[in-house]
Amino acid sequence: MTAPVIPPAYADIDPLPRLLMGPGPINADPRVLRAMSAQLLGQFDPQFRNYMRETMALYREIFVTQNTWTMCIDGTARAGIEAAMVSLIEPGDRVLVPIFGRFGHLKVEIARRAGAQVHAIEMEWGQVFTPEMIEDALRTFKPKLVALCQGDTSTTMAQPLAEIGALCHRYDALLYVDATASIVGMPLPVDAWHIDVVTCGLQKCLAGPSGIAPITLNARAAEHIKRRRHIEQGLQSADYVAGSGRMIASNYFDLAMVMDYWSEQALNHHTEATTMLYAARECARITLLEGLDAVHARHAAASRAMVAGLQAMGLKLFGDLAHKMPNVTGIWIPQGVNGDRVRARMLNDFNIEIGTSFGPLHGRIWRIGAMGYNARKDTVLITLGALDACLQAEGYAMPRGAGVDAAYATYCLT
């Protein structure tokens, strides 16, 4: 008897075991995947509310902050970006966006959608801003909000932030930092650097899946948002008084309502994404068990080895290496080499994913990540070995095995 043919959509999900060595997402730590398989709970179950409180406490340590309002936004990292910006920006507000890659342009778009007057300053991709450049824009434009990335994976560059928060406060501006690509891959002491708002995601250095966005707000930012607090109809009590500010334009991304939901009031807003909360809690837990300094050092070691290996292969790295992100490395695609074909060989023959970039860099550079669960000696060496084989197959002349040898020697020295 002939076995029935199972339509593809009815088959089990069983993907090939890819090693994700691009700019993110990356392979989730198995402990995170196990945590996500825990049984669901109701959003107001005392157990679940306690998990929410624990997650808040863990992310205060991740962000190195005392901020009460440290919580999560359900949705990808972009959900956190949008929640922060639409909740802080009112129509007509001045917003300064320093752009050094694709994700600066994203912040310009979100700010404009929120009705802001936007002033963008741009650096050539591969470079970052000096504090003097940002201070000059603060002095002349006088923004309410400055929005920028710590690390922009499109260019693999990391913007130094240690002086920027104090500069913004000197000119009475709020500082919002998107740390999606950099959180725990490099230091980000939120309180010490006077940053008002930070958002991130799990899918890069935190070693989890995309789908929830941790956020922290200091008291200064929280006051701006609370002034716009409105409780939706159907939940308002008899003594309810709306905030004096304009209602936040988005219901789902209304941080004032999300804050009420995460507070001890537990005022209903949305149904919390239980499984994603488990993931966020586990990502923070395993990071803090390893220790922030140790996690930073692990990413830095992977970066040093990757750089040494790529340079030993005769490849030219992209951008200002003094400001390169530890967790992503950009490589100029060599003249005469078909970059897409190399990436396809890596994926199809070795099950390893690396990336190209966007806009002016699309098809001109590769981006190789070593972050989160994948910031390990074995993954770096395996990726360099596979790249060596794929480049040789494309006719690129280089000393065979030099990349793996150089990276291995770098690890042996540390």
The C-alpha atoms of residue 334 and residue 331 are separated, in whole angstroms, by 9
By the 10 Å C-beta count (0-12 exposed, 13-18 middle, 19+ buried), 46 is classed as exposed
As averages over each run of 10 residues, the pLDDT of the chain (414 residues) reads 81 93 97 98 96 98 98 98 98 98 98 98 98 98 98 97 98 98 98 98 98 98 96 89 94 97 94 97 98 98 98 98 98 97 98 95 96 98 98 94 98 87
Which tokens belong to 292? Answer: 């922030």
Class of domain 30-288: alpha beta
- Buried-state track 231-240, b at ≥16 Cβ within 10 A, e below 16: beeeeeeeee
Side-chain-side CA neighbours of 35 within 13 Å: the count stands at 22
pLDDT of residue 1: 65
pLDDT of residue 413: 86
Residue 330 bridge partners (DSSP): 367
Rounded to 5°, angle at Cα 412 from 409 and 413: 90
Residue 212's closest CA among 79, 69, 52? 79
- Taking only Cα atoms into account, the Rg of the chain, rounded to an integer number of angstroms, comes to 23
Which tokens belong to 103? Answer: 């994700």
Domain boundaries along the sequence of the chain: 30-288, 292-413
pLDDT of residue 6: 84
> Was domain 292-413 assigned CATH 3.90.1150.10?
yes
